[in-house]
Amino acid sequence: MYRTKTCGELRIANVGEQVTLAGWVQRSRKMGGMTFIDLRDRYGLTQLVFNQETDAPLCERANKLGREYVIQVTGCVSERFSKNDKMPTGDIEIIVSELNVLNEALTPPFTIEEQTDGGDDLRMKYRYLDLRRECVRRNLELRHKFCIETRSYLDSQGFLEIETPVLVGSTPEGARDFIVPSRMNPGQFYALPQSPQTLKQLLMVAGMDKYFQIVKCFRDEDLRADRQPEFTQIDCEMSFVEQDDVIKTFEGLTKHLFKTVRGIDLGETPFLRLPWSEAMRRFGSDKPDMRFGMEFVELMDVLKGTGEFGVFNGATYIGGICAKGCAVFTRKQLDELTNFVKSPQIGAKGLVYARVQDDGTVKSSVDKFYAPEVLNKLKEAMQAEAGDLILILSGDDANRTRKQLCELRLLMGSRLGLRDKNKFALLWVVDFPMFEWSDEEQRLMAMHHPFTSPKPEDIPLLDTDPARVCANAYDMVCNGVEVGGGSIRIHDAVLQAKIFDILGFTPEKAQEQFGFLMNAFKFGAPPHGGLAYGLDRFVSLFAGLDSIRDCIAFPKNNSGRDVMLDAPSAVDQKQLDELEIALAPRTE
């Protein structure tokens, strides 16, 4: 036996026991004639003691141990003279009598402690060392618990976990596919699934009734902090259900996860269901952060045409938010906010602000254009009180201006400490539009995906005004993050063909790309619907992380590279020849 105990479990009650531990040398200190070593394994840290006086040769060997050496020790558990109440094992130490070096270690390129001196790139290159750090390891433990609890809950509800293939066919809708050449079928390619969407629908046609899978999905997109080229979904589908059934089932799962993984009881109350148009109007976002208010107030009536300010008089949307107690903001702080909204990534033309002063009067950056009565109306419309700061954006595209105001709202929320990572505000956004216009493609695109069913009452609009059709789709939002999304699906081949037509597919192209699905629908497809959670995002919210990378064992960097494996990389000419692939000469 390599060990009789782990480095995390010994307590005062174990004093006097003879134990064997194995692990890594985290740190060693020499004090007088004593050498102290912190021994680490997955379960914790235990202090080892070597005494020059009682066993000089052993103590000298201990003095030679370097950081991250793998050792095995046997010794007696003893009560510590100076206890450390920050460590679970802080009451005891091991008086070592035997030391066995299992493996030496090079000096690690960064310190393997909570606060490390390693930068991001270095830590990713040596991720296996980074993962030895408790804070990183904890994220993986949380993820594990999240998966286990998901499986146990869905199993209790009758869901079957079914695997779907990773090598599938390429489909044009959605993000860019990763493609894989087929050696046995030269000139032909598989694609990696962006999600098992059509396969889970086929499982419903197959009568599986309730399916789930914790599954890798692949999308070849440009990366941001919360995106990875491969990510994990909890993918689910159910038969003979309506929107309400799906929402209730997954609210149940979400509450179960909060309770068992985070110890948070979300209570019996159903989550708020906010129609998409209302979310956009009140928060300028389809994933509003509802941990705080600061809702938008539309100010067209108050400020357009009521003064000499040309910018507002020419606007098609004017909206404001009220930041409580922020009238004290200095000129410099307001300039910072102005620079923020004018930055290229936000793109607003400018920021108008108004302070409500202690005597209740309003002092604004547009005072010279408006009579005091108008500014007073502004105060009333915003329900602002003495000490509050009103921030106003305007523009000629209501949706764009709302999105800019949303960014400003989020920034103010952060500034005011209203976005506490330990508080969770969950809701469903429902009634999404079915399509959105793409300037790039010059056609309507599916807002969710092409298999989403329209609201039954909107089906007649498909022929006359498709842009106004609402979808039977829903997103689950937590703290301003879309953690899941899904829809009730089309299960009728004729309606599915019509949607493909609206999306600009010729009947031949639709048949070529999605014939397998439309044909399956002709063999008795049940009504069905489902959703998928973004597991990485949900876990990082639970762990209070800023990036999903921190809860992934071996993530990729922002250029899609695995710097530890040095992938992607060139392949041998022989491999390319087998695949009948010739590389075009590179131009740069």
Site residues (CB under 6 A) for ligand ASP? 195, 197, 485-487, 530-532
Residue 321, strand partner residues: 391
Closest residue to bound ligand ASP by CB:
195
Q: Give 233 or 401: the residue with its C-beta nearer to ligand ASP.
A: 233
Residue 375's Cβ-side half-sphere holds a number of Cα atoms within 13 Å equal to 24
CB contact at 8 A, 11 and 94:
no
Q: Give 480 or 486: the residue with its C-beta nearer to ligand ASP.
A: 486
Provide the minimum distance between the beta carbon of 542 and ligand ASP in the complex, in angstroms, as a whole number: 20
Q: Give 534 or 555: the residue with its C-beta nearer to ligand ASP.
A: 534
Distance CA(245)–CA(209), nearest Å, equals 13
Distance CA(156)–CA(137), nearest Å, equals 29
Provide the minimum distance between the beta carbon of 503 and ligand ASP in the complex, in angstroms, as a whole number: 16
CB contact at 8 A, 49 and 66:
no
CB contact at 8 A, 305 and 384:
no
Provide the minimum distance between the beta carbon of 436 and ligand ASP in the complex, in angstroms, as a whole number: 15
Provide the minimum distance between the beta carbon of 396 and ligand ASP in the complex, in angstroms, as a whole number: 32
Q: Which of 443, 434, 417, 506 is nearest to 473 (CA)?
A: 434
Q: Give 307 or 530: the residue with its C-beta nearer to ligand ASP.
A: 530
Distance CA(259)–CA(282), nearest Å, equals 30
Q: Give 341 or 473: the residue with its C-beta nearer to ligand ASP.
A: 473
Residue type, 326: C
Provide the minimum distance between the beta carbon of 402 and ligand ASP in the complex, in angstroms, as a whole number: 24
Distance CA(531)–CA(235), nearest Å, equals 6
Taking the CA atoms of 575, 217, 433 and 285 in sequence, report the sign of the dihedral they define: negative
Provide the minimum distance between the beta carbon of 232 and ligand ASP in the complex, in angstroms, as a whole number: 11
Q: Which of 175, 14, 165 is nearest to 91 (CA)?
A: 14
* Residue 235: partners with Cβ closer than 8 Å, 6 or more residues away: 195, 196, 200, 211, 212, 213, 214, 215, 530, 532
Provide the minimum distance between the beta carbon of 486 and ligand ASP in the complex, in angstroms, as a whole number: 4
Q: Give 196 or 413: the residue with its C-beta nearer to ligand ASP.
A: 196
Q: Which of 17, 55, 65 is nearest to 34 (CA)?
A: 55
Provide the minimum distance between the beta carbon of 196 and ligand ASP in the complex, in angstroms, as a whole number: 7
Provide the minimum distance between the beta carbon of 472 and ligand ASP in the complex, in angstroms, as a whole number: 11
- The torsion of the CA quartet 280, 283, 288, 291, rounded to 10 degrees, works out to -160
Q: Give 197 or 364: the residue with its C-beta nearer to ligand ASP.
A: 197
Q: Give 35 or 197: the residue with its C-beta nearer to ligand ASP.
A: 197
Provide the minimum distance between the beta carbon of 430 and ligand ASP in the complex, in angstroms, as a whole number: 14
Q: Give 271 or 329: the residue with its C-beta nearer to ligand ASP.
A: 271
Q: Give 341 or 430: the residue with its C-beta nearer to ligand ASP.
A: 430
Distance CA(405)–CA(420), nearest Å, equals 21
Taking the CA atoms of 166, 169, 175 and 177 in sequence, report the sign of the dihedral they define: positive
